[in-house]
């Protein structure tokens, strides 16, 4: 029996925030839309990233708050995390997502296909036994852990698997000193595990301000997490019921015993088996090569959004959502809209929380900007001391001639919220005086901005 080719206006590969947004908007405009995913529908953020992570992070933050407030009016000394119960609670957020997403697509009239997609030609995609042909194709397949390229890599678990652990091992090693490692390590140690972070470079969380990172590392070590820098994992071996991690350090090779090794290093675009060459889609290390409209530079019928697009933008859900809006607009109205990556905040959901937006001192100097830096420890400020928060500080970069804010870096309570005020101020081009006029709330983290600028 011949396989019939089904024709669509748009084929979307990926059901995360980028793919879903574009699919729904184009379908609402009357387009015939197909959407494909080899994993349960919903994407990384809803199923394997932001949402489940925050459930665990919030539980860990509650543990930390309780610990900080002992003998300060709180006396629940036996509080603990019940890992299995926490996992069950987490699944109340993630388990309904795939069915809900499919129901939304069905109600919208979007054709759904389960399986790994691969290109047959410029606009034709094969999914299992189905052949789909589109006027346009959106690649929104996200990212996956970068291959470590070491012996014993098969013994390394992913962050996805960490978020599905039925039981938390007693000993855990995180490879790499990025978001995933720090956030998961803070959760794990507060749930009772012995935790190490092995980072290849001189400083973890390399895109954040080094002074604030150093404070976070100290806070991380204070709660019992062993953070090792200049420690490159070279091999992993299995020995009975535990794993042996071999790493090179400035002092020579060291070995570490553990029960679980989690990949917390870099991620790469999930493109390898899409057969992009058959579609004439050029790619690079960071993903699909796109122009300023998020359109493939080599195949104008193909667009890319989210972690899979080689834009140089941070791999963040808000970025993917913004890029999806741009792609949908350009598909429906012609290539007019460009993504605006001005001042997208980044947050590390540890306790204390680390947040940044705009320039670091290093990037500001590289651009030849003239600026002054306001930098202060804020652990004595009311917003921190009332929570008995030992580590808290800020660094704000201010342009010399106009007093405009160039960058903001926060460590401490409410940093994940306050950073958005700075983001809006930078995007609007506010001076420090203009920003101060906006802040009236007291006594909140936002009111501290007046003292930062």
Q: Is the dihedral of CA 81, 82, 83, 86 positive or negative?
A: negative
DSSP for residue 2 = P
What mean pLDDT comes out for the span 238-264?
A: 95
What pLDDT shows up at residue 327? 98
User: What confidence tier does 2 reach under pLDDT thresholds 50, 70, 90?
Assistant: very low
- Mean pLDDT within 414-426: 93
Q: What is the pLDDT of residues 144-203, one digit of tens each?
A: 999 999 999 999 999 999 999 999 999 999 999 999 999 999 999 999 999 999 999 999
Q: How many helices (H) and strands (E) does the chain have?
A: 14, 24
CA 15/CA 108 separation, integer angstroms: 14
For residue 444, pLDDT beyond 80: no
Asked if residue 318 has pLDDT above 70, the reply is yes
Q: What is the mean pLDDT of residues 249-260?
A: 96
The b/e string for 71-80 (b: 16+ C-beta within 10 A; e otherwise) is eeeeeeeeee
Q: pLDDT band for position 1 (50/70/90)?
A: very low
pLDDT in tens, 208-231: 999 999 999 999 999 999 999 999
Residues found in the chain:
453
Q: At what angle do helices 179-190 and 210-222 cross, to 10 degrees?
A: 20
**pTM for the complete prediction?**
0.92
Is the predicted pLDDT of residue 241 greater than 60, yes or no? yes
pLDDT band at 446 (very low <50, low <70, confident <90, very high): low
Residue-wise DSSP of 94-123: HTTHHHHHHHHHHHHT-EEEES-EEESSSS
Choose the weakest-confidence range: 162-176, 305-319, 357-371, 431-445.
Answer: 431-445
| 349: helix, strand or coil | coil
Quote the mean pLDDT of the chain.
Answer: 93
């Amino acid at each position: 029996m011949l396989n019939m080719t089904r024709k669509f206006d748009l084929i979307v590969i990926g059901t995360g925030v980028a793919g879903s947004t574009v699919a729904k908007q184009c379908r609402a405009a009357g387009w015939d839309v197909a959407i494909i995913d080899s994993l349960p529908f919903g994407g990384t953020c809803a199923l394997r990233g932001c949402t489940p992570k925050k459930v665990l992070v919030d539980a860990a933050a509650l543990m930390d708050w309780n610990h900080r407030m002992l003998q300060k009016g709180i006396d629940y000394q036996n509080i603990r995390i019940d890992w299995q119960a926490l996992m069950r609670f987490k699944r109340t957020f993630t388990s309904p997502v795939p069915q809900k997403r499919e129901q939304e697509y069905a109600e919208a009239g979007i054709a759904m296909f389960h399986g790994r997609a691969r290109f047959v030609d410029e606009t034709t995609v094969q999914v299992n036994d189905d052949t789909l042909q589109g006027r346009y194709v959106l690649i929104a397949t996200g990212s996956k852990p970068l291959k470590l390229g070491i012996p014993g890599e098969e013994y390394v678990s992913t962050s996805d698997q960490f978020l599905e652990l039925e039981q938390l091992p007693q000993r855990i090693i995180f490879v790499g000193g990025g978001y995933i490692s720090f956030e998961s390590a803070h959760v794990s140690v507060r749930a009772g595990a012995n935790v190490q972070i092995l980072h290849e470079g001189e400083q973890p969380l390399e895109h954040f301000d080094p002074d604030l990172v150093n404070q976070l590392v100290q806070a991380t070590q204070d709660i019992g997490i062993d953070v090792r820098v200049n420690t490159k994992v070279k091999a992993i071996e299995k020995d009975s019921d535990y794993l042996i991690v071999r790493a090179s350090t400035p002092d020579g090779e060291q070995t570490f015993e553990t029960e679980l090794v989690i990949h917390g290093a870099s991620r790469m675009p999930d493109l390898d088996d899409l057969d992009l060459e058959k579609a004439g889609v050029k790619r690079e290390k960071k993903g699909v090569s796109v122009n300023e409209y998020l359109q493939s530079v080599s195949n104008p019928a193909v667009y890319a959004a989210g972690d899979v697009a080689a834009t140089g933008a941070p791999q963040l859900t808000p970025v993917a959502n913004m890029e999806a809006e741009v792609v949908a607009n350009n598909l429906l109205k012609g290539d007019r809209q460009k993504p605006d990556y001005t001042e997208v905040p980044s947050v590390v959901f540890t306790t204390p929380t680390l947040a940044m937006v705009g320039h670091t001192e290093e990037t500001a100097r590289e651009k030849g900007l003239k600026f002054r830096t306001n930098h202060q420890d804020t652990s004595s400020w009311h917003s921190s001391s009332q929570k008995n928060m030992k580590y808290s500080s800020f660094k704000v970069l201010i342009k010399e001639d106009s007093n405009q804010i160039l960058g903001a870096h926060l460590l401490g309570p409410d940093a994940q919220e306050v950073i958005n005020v700075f983001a809006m101020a930078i995007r609007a081009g506010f001076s420090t005086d203009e920003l101060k006029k906006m802040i009236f709330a007291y006594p909140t983290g936002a009111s501290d901005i007046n003292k930062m600028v």
